[in-house]
Structure 1
Amino acid sequence: MTPTQARYLAFIQKYIDLHGIAPSEKEISDAMCVMPPSVNQMIKSLEKLGFISRSPGVARSIRIILPTELVPKWKRGGEIVISEATKKLPKRSLQPAMPLCTFEARLYDGPFGDEYRKRLCIRYVEIRTDQTLSDLHSILFEAFGMRVDAEYEFNIGGKSRFAKESKCFGLPEFQAKRKEFLGRSESYAGNAETTQICDLGLKQGQVFGYCFDFEHDWYYFLWFTKIENATETVEYPRVTRRQGKAPPQKSSGGDSSRN
């Protein structure tokens, strides 16, 4: 078990002990001083390792399933006490060899000036085919240095963004803002949290779109550049390369710098 994993588990257990219910991801985010997508990825990792369990679709349903003596202790001031037995627990679950996709993501449009339009802003990410579009969104959020999470969708299979043959994937709760800011009222073809990369039928070389923050309409093109076997000891998804500086993200709270 890594120190970071231990810190998450210690906080979750301490919160349950104090309140009788599990913390929300937002509360974990605030306590750990990290962005919500990072919390989401850590919770998924802890679940795959068999350290916690959750009820799908149920808020505050995290339950620690480690024996009590192996759960790290959260002390006053945020100090963590980890037993020697806990330190020997696995740091990551070893996944069977799975197909691994590499995507080249390019910033195409958004609320930024000409000084950025003249530059290339590209990120390369790797993701297993058993992972979801929601996982892909989380790694793109990290790759482009976004600071404030917002609604998103993927546009796949059409010759243009809103072509009739294009299939869009997002979350049901995004529909209202989608209609307000993008003028689209049709239902999504699938839920991004449950649609796996392998469900999309992508072919190597295929290009599709990714829209983030409907109000400001950041738009990216993703090229499916390579497929190979995932490495068992590597945690995916991950960013493998960055090219060019990303424009600052606009939000209701103002701009914030990005890398």
Structure 2
Amino acid sequence: MAKTKKSENITKKAVNPSSNALYLLEVFLIDGPITEKFAAENPVVSRTIEIKGSNTLADLHKIIFKAFDRQDEHMYEFQVGGSRPQDPNARRYCIKQAFSSSDFTPAPTGDVSSTSIASLGLSIDDAFGYWFDFGDDWWHQINVINIKDLVQSGKYPRITQRVGASPPQYTDFE
């Protein structure tokens, strides 16, 4: 994987990046109900996303949903601060419906609709998890590639690169 070029407007290991910062995230599909044929034809499935620090985790979910061409909404959560996706020690951020569910142990850390990207304390080279559809279990790893102090004008969040095809949201294994 190519490293991004370092420049003076990149925050190296930011402690409190501004809500005006721009995050470059690479989202990899790491597990889910895909066929062997699809996996052979698409050994890497990833999307690169630019998102502002002021955007919320709910905004990040929406752009990932769009980036992977999904049609039906389901429950989801982000896992931040662990050593890998599915780390039981990670902080978990969920939609409000998950807070009322007794199935979630330990309790979620926060609500995706009120948690900004900047508030997560992310740094370049950090990775965190995104779990979509608690029945089909689509697992993603999100890598923080870059954090820029200054955001150029434009609409965010946005998809800047696609690698591999999007798998069908529901696979027919027959």
Is the pair's TM-score, using the shorter chain for normalization, greater than 0.5? Answer: yes
Question: Counterpart of 2:151?
Answer: 230
Q: Which amino acid aligns with 2:152?
A: T
TM-score (normalised: structure 1): 0.55
**Contact 1:175–1:185 (Cα < 8 Å) also in 2:** no
Aligned partner of residue 33 in structure 2, secondary structure: coil
**Contact 1:104–1:122 (Cα < 8 Å) also in 2:** yes
Instruction: Spell out structure 1 runs of 4+ moving beyond 6 A.
Output: none
Match of 2:32 among 110, 115, 137: 110
Q: Which amino acid aligns with 1:107?
A: L
In terms of fraction of residues, the more helix-rich structure is 1
**Contact 2:79–2:87 (Cα < 8 Å) also in 1:** no
Distance across 2 between alignment mates of 1:164 and 1:219:
14
Distance across 2 between alignment mates of 1:240 and 1:162:
26
Q: Which amino acid aligns with 2:123?
A: K
2:61 paired with 1:137: yes
**Contact 1:101–1:128 (Cα < 8 Å) also in 2:** yes
Aligned partner of residue 54 in structure 2, secondary structure: coil
Distance 1:187 1:102, change over 3 A: same
**Contact 1:134–1:192 (Cα < 8 Å) also in 2:** yes
Shift of 1:171: 1.4
- For residues 184-203 of structure 1, the aligned pairs below 5 Å read 184-203=104-123
Higher normalized contact order (CA 8 Å, seq sep 6+, divided by chain length): 2
Aligned partner of residue 113 in structure 2, secondary structure: coil
Distance across 2 between alignment mates of 1:193 and 1:213:
17
Distance 1:151 1:162, change over 3 A: same
Shift of 1:117: 2.8
Structure 2 gap ranges (5+)? 1-18
Number of residues of Structure 1 aligned to a counterpart in Structure 2: 151
Structure 1 gap ranges (5+)? 1-96
Distance across 1 between alignment mates of 2:144 and 2:77:
17
Question: Counterpart of 1:101?
Answer: 23
Distance across 1 between alignment mates of 2:81 and 2:161:
26
Shift of 1:177: 6.7
2:127 paired with 1:207: yes
Q: Which amino acid aligns with 2:36?
A: D
For residues 72-120 of structure 1, what are the alpha-carbon distances to aligned partners after superposition, in whole Å with 9 as ceiling and x for unaligned? xxxxxxxxxxxxxxxxxxxxxxxxx921001000100001112233321
2:174 paired with 1:249: no
Shift of 1:175: 4.7
Cα RMSD after superposing both structures:
2.0
Aligned partner of residue 193 in structure 1, secondary structure: helix
Distance across 2 between alignment mates of 1:149 and 1:130:
23
Distance across 2 between alignment mates of 1:219 and 1:189:
19
Aligned partner of residue 118 in structure 2, secondary structure: helix
Aligned partner of residue 106 in structure 1, secondary structure: strand
